[in-house]
Amino acid sequence: MPKPKSKIKTANIEKQNLILKKEICEKNKKIKALTSKVSGAQKEMRELCFQLVSTITIAMEMRDGYARKFAEKTSDYGVKIAKTLDLSEKCIDLVRRAGHLLEIGRLGLKQDVFSKMEKLTNEEFESVKSHPQIAIDILKPIKFFEEITPIIHHHHERFDGKGYPDGLKGKEICIESRILAVASAYVAMTQERPHRKAHSKEEAKKELENGANSQFDPEIVKVFLDILEKEK
For 86-103, write each residue's pLDDT tens digit. Answer: 999 999 999 998 998 888
- Give the amino acid at 31: I
Contacts of 98 (CB under 8 A, 6+ apart): 75, 78, 148, 151, 152, 155, 176, 180
Percentage, residues of the chain above pLDDT 70: 67
Give per-residue pLDDT as tens, 128-179.
788 888 888 888 877 778 889 999 999 999 999 999 999 999 999 999 999 9
φ/ψ of residue 197, rounded to 5: -80, 160
Structural class in CATH, domain 56-230: mainly alpha
φ/ψ of residue 212, rounded to 5: -65, 135
Handedness of CA 137, 142, 145, 146 (dihedral sign): positive
Give per-residue pLDDT as tens, 22-45.
766 776 676 566 556 555 556 666
Residue 165 and residue 131 in contact, taking contact as beta carbons nearer than 8 Å: no
